[in-house]
Structure 1
Amino acid sequence: MTSLPPGPNPTAAARRGALGAGALDAGDARHRRPLVLVATLGGASAALGTLLVCLAVGVVGWFLADAGAHGTPRDGLRVGALGWLLAHGSGLRVDGVAVSVIPLGLTSLAAWAVWRLGHRVGDSVSGHGPDADRIADGERDWTVATATAAFAAGYLVVASVTFRLAATAETAPSLVRVVGWSLLLCATFGLAAISVGSGRAAIWAAFVPASVRAAVSACLRVLGGYLLVSTVVFAIALAVDFGTAVNVMSRLHLGAGDGTVYTALTATLVPNAAVFTGSYLLGPGFAVGVHTVVSPTAVALGPLPMFPLLAALPANGPTPAWTAYLLVLPPLTAAVAVARSQRRFPTLRWDHGALRGCVGGALAGLLLGLLAAVSGGAVGPGRMREVGPPSFDVLVHAITAFGLGGLAGGVLMTWWQRRARSQASLDSTA
């Protein structure tokens, strides 16, 4: 529930009238709960939600491994807690070998929990601070900032306690990185969710030019659409050589219980594989070991570990001629995404359509470059200390491909909308 909806009129007086009509009644106790307490508990609950899932998987995995014959439930809990910390960028050591890759599947689950709890917190405290009329008049409102700070504090308490209980000298996770990732989640997904839930985002959006909102919408659609395309391409590649993945699982000699847990843990790396695939489609590709490359124009691999997702890798050696045509997918995806976005923010001006598409695509390329930077890392000793895409190359290629694709999509949709407008005018005068 958003209690402070925006007004469409660009003047301050119209904003006050539209916002004031939907303002909360000061006596609505549901939306005036203790701000600091509710936000702090919300942040702690967001952290505990995913932590409890990881702990449960750790205990189940411990029991299914040997029916509890070795170790104790505490060992399973520690493994689950370390997995949760790893999803927050902690890194760790396994038998002295550094593992720094972040399972983006778990990180995405944590981000979703932060969003859901943050939205509820925002709704619960939406009655605090100045009302809609005073906000429209320019009065400062610290509700979202205070709630986000308290939300982050609650999240950090859980993260710090988990680190203190689970970390050992042998595993050596990084508390600094855990704190940094926790703050990043709260400052992005948490802040956005609290803003939306409290209704402040709707008010602030009324002051943002339509062209900026259109560019942001295009950016999100391009990024989301491209990640979806990358995931589909990865799934097709894995399905084509699914027999190899099954053979890898069989050679690991896992029981039914072990195989189930192993499959679930493997699934947490599917988002990483999607980003790797996106880097492949852009051209730079990615590495699966030191001095290796997997790209549409060249594949040079060395010995690989037994991991089922690696069955999606192309064969070593020269690539087929048709793989070079995969490079058309990124700009094509951006063009389609921008065109769909412009249906929500129509424009008849050529410069607006071109600029929105180009800027939105470039912003999506920037975000993809950041994802590429955090998707890889060390996964083992020796050669496997370097796995992932070259983030800077991906950044440059993504900004170029998405920017050009967005530009084309924006211009084409502007032409279509101008044509539809002219046809409608002719029909009305006929």
Structure 2
Amino acid sequence: MTSVLPDLTRSRDDLRHRRPLALLATLGGVIAAASTLVVCLAVGVAGWFLTDAGAHGEPRDALQVGALGWLMGHGSGITVQGTPVSVVPLGLTLVVAWTIWRLGIRVGDSVSGHGPDADAIADGERDLTVPVAASLFAAGYAVVVAVTHTLAATPATSPSLARPIVWSVLLCLVVGGAAVAVGSGRAAIWAAFVPIALREAAATCRRILLGWFLVAGLVLVAALVVDLDTAVNVMSQLHTDAGDATVFTLLSLTVLPNAVAFSGAYLLGPGFAVGVGTLVSPAAVALGPLPMFPLLAALPDDGTPPVWTAYLMVLPPLVALAATMRSQRQAPTSRWDEGIIRGLAGGVLAGLLFGLFAAMAGGAVGPGRMADVGPLVLDTTVYAVTAFGLGGLLGGVLATALQRRRARQAENP
């Protein structure tokens, strides 16, 4: 009797992984969208109570604010008192992407029993499980976006519908599709067909980006700590109480990745604009009147920067060099061509991806001059590709040289 139990267990597992793909993938997209939407709605209501204890407005107004904030995290933009606000709170977008990833993994596991098995896929049999599941996942997500826009949009706020639909579909296809591939086991099968040099170049790119975001974030925190008095003074001039301060803190957290992108663009050299006709870079700082927002306390003083700030531009290639050498320490190679390809390709790809991130970080945040806020995207991308590519190339050469030296020492102790 006990010998039958393993067979029954395997049968239940097979059935669990063969549930209707269309239902699972579509429902996964709906849940992924609804989960973050509900959180934003709850935060909107909490913020309403924190600011004035619900003395003004109605709960539906707070719910509308939460829904509009969720749409902004998908790139919708809104209009505030006739002024377009197009900046995307990337902190919220990252939370959305993480949720899509987690739900995509679960959907991938649930549909892993569909389509051909691993041997058939390895033999080249066509498998549409992942693209079909990712497309249905994106469709379910987009439906929630469209319904939310219909219920929350007003002529006064006029959020875009096309942009959040495009953003959500791209997030679901790229992030969700990758998650479905990983969860279903397809990614591991497909990765076997990718040359090892390209796989390691992707790993190097990931390490460079993580290292660069860490450095840019640390510089941002250091700048805030140095001018902490300015941030406190801004909060005091706004006459904020504990509830208002909490709301301001949450708002600052939603745009913290944007600020990290600004910091990274500054360290690369081109810098960023905080209004039309302004520039913040290691070579020059030209500012005008600024809105009262605590994160802006991290900005350097107007005028000619100290001489030492120019040396900050050595950080990007150094970060890329260190990240490349660390990556090759995990997967060593003694071939010059592989070492160079890993470092150079990984650095160039990291530069392109950071340029894309910088492009998403800017936008309009207010009337007049504040219609142009963000990194200088084209220059930042060129500098990032050059700096990371050079650092990755040097890191690949140095790491390969060290590994060849260790190999010779092992052969001739």
Normalised to the residue count of structure 2, the TM-score between the two structures is: 0.96
Distance 2:388 2:54 in 1: 52
Alignment of 1:415 onto 2:401 = yes
What is the SS of the residue equivalent to 2:289? coil
2:195 alignment partner, one of 209, 213, 235: 209
1:3-34 Cα deviation digits (max 9, x unpaired): xxxxxxxxxxxxxxxxxxxxx97962222222
Distance 1:371 1:136 in 2: 35
Q: Which residues of 2 match residues 89-100 of structure 1 at below 5 A?
A: 89-100=75-86
The residue aligned with 1:226 is 212
2:137 alignment partner, one of 148, 151, 159: 151
1:122 alignment partner, one of 95, 108, 118: 108
The residue aligned with 1:310 is 296
Q: CA deviation at 1:426?
A: 2.2
Aligned length: 404
Distance 2:11 2:118 in 1: 11
Alignment of 1:81 onto 2:104 = no
Residue pair 1:26, 1:127 contacting (<8 A) in 2 also: no
What is the SS of the residue equivalent to 2:355? helix
Alignment of 1:191 onto 2:177 = yes
1:170 alignment partner, one of 124, 149, 156: 156
Distance 1:230 1:160 in 2: 36
The residue aligned with 1:239 is 225
Q: Which amino acid aligns with 1:28?
A: D
Q: Which amino acid aligns with 1:259?
A: A
Alignment of 1:379 onto 2:365 = yes
Aligned CA distance change for structure 1 residues 25 and 225 (closer, same or farther; 3 Å): farther
What is the SS of the residue equivalent to 2:157? coil
The residue aligned with 2:95 is 109
Percentage of matched positions with identical amino acids: 66
1:301 alignment partner, one of 277, 284, 287: 287
1:302-347 Cα deviation digits (max 9, x unpaired): 1111000000000110110110000000000011111111123321
1:348-390 Cα deviation digits (max 9, x unpaired): 1112111210111000100111111110010001111100011
Distance 2:325 2:26 in 1: 41
Distance 1:356 1:187 in 2: 27
What is the SS of the residue equivalent to 2:155? coil
RMSD, aligned α-carbons: 1.1
Q: Which amino acid aligns with 1:194?
A: V
Distance 1:187 1:277 in 2: 29
Aligned CA distance change for structure 1 residues 71 and 418 (closer, same or farther; 3 Å): same
The residue aligned with 2:345 is 359
Aligned CA distance change for structure 1 residues 416 and 26 (closer, same or farther; 3 Å): farther
Distance 1:171 1:356 in 2: 48
Distance 2:200 2:365 in 1: 40
Normalised to the residue count of structure 1, the TM-score between the two structures is: 0.92
What is the SS of the residue equivalent to 1:207? coil
Q: Which residues of 2 match residues 368-407 of structure 1 at below 5 A?
A: 368-407=354-393
Q: CA deviation at 1:39?
A: 0.8
Q: Which amino acid aligns with 2:21?
A: L
Alignment of 1:254 onto 2:244 = no
Q: CA deviation at 1:424?
A: 1.8
Distance 2:204 2:89 in 1: 27
Distance 2:347 2:140 in 1: 36
Unpaired stretches in structure 1, ≥5 consecutive residues:
1-23
Q: CA deviation at 1:250?
A: 1.1
What is the SS of the residue equivalent to 1:138? coil
Alignment of 1:280 onto 2:279 = no
Unpaired stretches in structure 2, ≥5 consecutive residues:
1-9
Distance 1:290 1:259 in 2: 29
